[in-house]
Amino acid sequence: IMFFTFLLQVIWILAAFGDEHWTYEGPHGQHWPASFPECGGNAQSPINIETNSVTFDSDLPALRPHGYDQPGTEPLELHNNGHTVQLSLPPTLYLEGLPRKYVAVQLHLHWGERGSLMGSEHQINSKAAAAELHIVHYDSDSYNSVSEAVKSPQGLAVLGILIEVGETENPAYEHILSRLHEIRYKGQKTSVPPFSVKELLPPELAQFFRYNGSLTTPPCYQSVVWTVFSQKVQISVGQLEKLQETLLSREMEPAQVLEQTYRVPQPLNQRKVLASFNQDESPYTTGEMLSIGVGILVGSLCLVVVVYFIAKKIQKKKLEDEKSVGFTSVQATE
Q: Looking at the annotation, which residues are catalytic? A: 83
Q: Which residue is nearest to ligand NAG (CB)?
A: 212
The residue (of 269 and 328) whose beta carbon lies closer to ligand NAG is: 269
H or E, element range at 304: helix 286-333
CB of 99 to ligand NAG, least distance (A): 8
Site string for ligand NAG, 168-187 (x = CB under 6 A): --------------------
**DSSP three-state, residue 236:** coil
Beta-sheet pairing, 123-124 with 127-128? antiparallel
CB of 128 to ligand NAG, least distance (A): 22
The residue (of 162 and 225) whose beta carbon lies closer to ligand NAG is: 225
Q: Please identify which residue in 210, 221, 262, 263 interacts with ligand NAG, judged by CB under 6 A.
A: 210
C-alpha count within 13 angstroms, C-beta hemisphere, residue 217: 17
Instruction: Report the distance separating Cα 210 and Cα 327, nearest Å.
Output: 83
CB 194 within 8 A of CB 73: yes
**Angle, alpha carbons 7-8-14 (nearest 5°):** 90
Using the contact rule CB under 6 A, the part of the chain among 28-36, 118-126, 187-195, 208-216 near ligand NAG is: 208-216
**Angle, alpha carbons 46-271-141 (nearest 5°):** 75
Phi, psi of 128 (to 5 degrees): -85, 155
Using the contact rule CB under 6 A, the part of the chain among 33-41, 207-215, 298-306, 312-320 near ligand NAG is: 207-215
Instruction: Report the distance separating Cα 270 and Cα 272, nearest Å.
Output: 7
Instruction: Report the distance separating Cα 52 and Cα 208, nearest Å.
Output: 14
211 binds ligand NAG (CB under 6 A): yes
165 binds ligand NAG (CB under 6 A): no
CB of 43 to ligand NAG, least distance (A): 9
Q: How far out from the chain centre does Cα 162 lie?
A: 1
CB of 82 to ligand NAG, least distance (A): 31
C-alpha distances in Å from residue 306, one per residue of 226, 309, 310, 315: 57, 5, 6, 14
The residue (of 73 and 270) whose beta carbon lies closer to ligand NAG is: 270
56 binds ligand NAG (CB under 6 A): no
Site string for ligand NAG, 246-285 (x = CB under 6 A): --------------------------x-x-----------
CB of 209 to ligand NAG, least distance (A): 9
